[in-house]
Amino acid sequence: MISKTTIDNVYETARLEEVIGDFVQLKKSGSNFKGLSPFSDERTPSFMVSPVKQIWKDFSSGKGGNVVAFLMEHEHFSYPEAIRYLAKKYNIEIEETEQSDEQKEQANERESMYLVSEYASKQYMDTLWNTELGKAIGLSYFKERGFTDETIKKFGLGYNLDQWDAFTKSALSDGYKLEYLSKTGLTIVKEHAGGETRKFDRFKGRVMFPIHSISGRVLGFGGRILTNDKKAAKYLNSPESEIYHKSKVLYGIYYSKQAIAKEDNCFLVEGYTDVIQMNQRGIENVVASSGTALTPEQIRLINRLTKNITVLFDGDAAGLRASLRGIDLILEQGMNVKVCSFPEGEDPDSFAKNNAYEDVVLYLEENAKDFIQFKTSLLAKEAADDPIKRADTVRDIVNSIAKIPDRIQKEIYIQECAKIMQISEEVLYNTLAQIDKKEVYEANKKQKQEQKAFEVVKNKTVVEKIDVQFELERKIIELLLLYGSQKQEFEDIVLKESKNGDLELEPEVVEAKVYEKIYLDLQEDEIELSNENFKNIYYRLIEKLNTSEKFSVKLFLSELDQETVEEVSSILMEEERYVLHDWERKDIYPKDKNNSVAQLVSETILTLRCNLIKGRIANLQKDTEAKTENEEVLEEIINYLQLNKLLHAKLNRVLS
């Protein structure tokens, strides 16, 4: 168990914007930060982070919460794992207890797979550094590649012995279940006739490259064979699993995320050793697609850190042509693409190994071409003097330009392409228009199909009315969270009878804290919140505000379960939705709530009273229909109507 003092220390120290900044590129927006949602595919930022409130809200998916909630949602951490991650990031001492067999038994499947993967990574490293065979075979290989001890340790490189079940035996003897060794792909299990089960190490006799998530969790492995066995694959990856999806992972992203955001550029390479060698040379903003074709999910992972990608190719022409498809995918995501190829026979690994840092940087600066220059020059060479091939080349390039969302960029690229290919801009614009027309036709066709499906269910759709009571109770929670401990002057109203016998409201100025005002007013009217979630949050807030010398939203959230944290964050960040629209740039200046807190509180309480009176009148009217003698009920209705009129007058509203 982690002590409460340690948890409080973590919450006090952790800065939400710093933690999320490791995963999402954030830009200042007033007192907040905004960025692209890490939970959905979008091009316009809808993800808001409030450093003041230390909460975040993703308006595209509806998710929100505090720093721990983000890690649990984004990285699928358990609560203790999120606390440990933050403690490690901020160098906070934390008591780590060894897991008992019973605790291992209770861990859920996903957590168990992470535990097994972490264990495997440590075992492979231990074998590499602390066994004779590991040092003689594995370590020697990495040294031959030019990797230093520091680099090998940094990337967690390891070795698995060339024995059928060396790793599996070790894991089983240390209490890890065969079920999870199999599900992570570390062990291959085969059932034989007679019920015999045989177990083999998947990565037998291979040097190991752990593949990390953006937060540093081990998701899977890449293993390279060191023998000349033609039947065995040179590189072998972990199979797809609950925690490892090749299409959503980039090798090296954990080590490069900060450099990518800082340099505002990401170098994309093909292999593990390309990433490691360039990182060792001092160029850290590098990732690899781990031997798979580039996917939209991988591009979006980079897009959260930077809008700029430089794709690095080796000198192999066949590989260049195949990789151009990946560039089109990057363009579709609205990103800026540059391409750099190395001299024939060289790749990022060898070039970084054989050249000084300054020379590598200079080469990349001088040879990184805009994608359109690179593609036109490459395809133009292939087309040569063949008119048909030349026409196909132009069409191919315009197809790529058509994928760019930004119209200004499209126009600039068309002009550039016209110069390089020596063809009129008009022809290129016409070709682009044809492609756009076809895409519009396909989009309309799809929309019509969706419209038909919508028509079927349209009549079943029920328009929901706004729940006024719900919104008012939500507003009370918001006021308590934001201003609960603030002292304000309230113009209170006291109901009195005039000389004529009429009811009237008499103003009376009182000074009180916001939470005291809300609590006493609700108590006086014997009002209880009807929503169970709000009621629970309300009483916890009143207790906290009443007993704490200094109320902290951050610490209050740390004591709630994650479902309530999301609810509270959603309430606190509701107003931030409008910040996304940049009203001030349109000369619209929203009113600052801090200037009218007392008025806001009073209006909310008064509106709540009006709503409850309205409900009470409706119930009494039902009673009059059911009774023959209803003079008392009618008199009560008249009194409530008179009170309702007075309250609406106080609110400066016309009574409907």
Other beta carbons within 10 Å of 267: 27
Alpha-carbon distance of 235 to 253, in angstroms, equals 20
Tokens for 496?
Answer: 């009195």
Q: What is the β-pairing status of strands 286-288 and 266-269? A: parallel
Show the DSSP H helices in 384-495 as ranges. 387-402, 407-421, 425-458, 468-483
Name the CATH topology of 101-244.
DNA primase DNAg catalytic core, N-terminal domain (3.90.980)
Class of domain 4-89: alpha beta
Amino acid letter at 299?
I
The continuous run of DSSP H or E covering 312 comes out as: strand 308-313
- pLDDT digits over 184-233, tens only? 999 999 987 777 889 999 999 999 999 999 989 999 999 999 988 888 88
Residue written as token pair 């800026």: 336
Hey, which residues does 251 pair with through a beta bridge? Answer: 288
Residue written as token pair 């959503």: 248
Residue 526 neighbours by CB under 8 Å, 6+ apart: none
Domain positions in the chain:
4-89, 101-244, 468-650
Q: Which long-range contacts link 439-444 to residues 24+ away (Cβ below 8 Å)?
A: 439/402
User: DSSP letter string over 234-254?
Assistant: SEEEPPP-SS--GGG--BTHH
The pLDDT assigned to 589 comes to 45
- Which portions of the chain are predicted below pLDDT 50? 457, 460-464, 583-584, 586-590, 653-656
Alpha-carbon distance of 600 to 230, in angstroms, equals 76
- pLDDT digits over 520-554, tens only? 888 877 788 989 999 999 999 999 998 888 888 88
Nearest to 515 by CA among 583, 614, 597: 597
Q: Is 58 exposed, middle or buried (0-12, 13-18, 19+ CB in 10 A)?
A: buried
HSE, side-chain direction, 13 A CA sphere, residue 178: 9
In CATH terms, are 4-89 and 101-244 the same topology? no
Name the strands in the sheet holding 336-341, side by side, starting at the edge strand that comes first in the sequence.
Answer: 286-288, 266-269, 308-313, 336-341, 369-370
The pLDDT assigned to 30 comes to 85
Alpha-carbon distance of 23 to 302, in angstroms, equals 9
Alpha-carbon distance of 327 to 310, in angstroms, equals 10
Tokens for 396?
Answer: 């191919």
Q: Which long-range contacts link 129-134 to residues 24+ away (Cβ below 8 Å)?
A: 131/161, 133/159, 133/161, 133/162, 134/159, 134/161
Q: Is 449 exposed, middle or buried (0-12, 13-18, 19+ CB in 10 A)?
A: exposed
pTM of the model: 0.74
Question: What does each C-alpha distance from 598 to 474, 585, 648 come to in angstroms?
Answer: 17, 29, 18
Hey, which residues does 47 pair with through a beta bridge? Answer: 35, 58
Alpha-carbon distance of 582 to 587, in angstroms, equals 9
The pLDDT assigned to 645 comes to 62
Rg of the chain (C-alpha set)? 32
DSSP state letter for 543: H
DSSP state letter for 134: I
Sign of CA dihedral 560, 561, 562, 565: negative
Q: 197-215 burial string, b = 16+ CB within 10 Å, else e? A: eebebbbbbbbbbbbbbbb
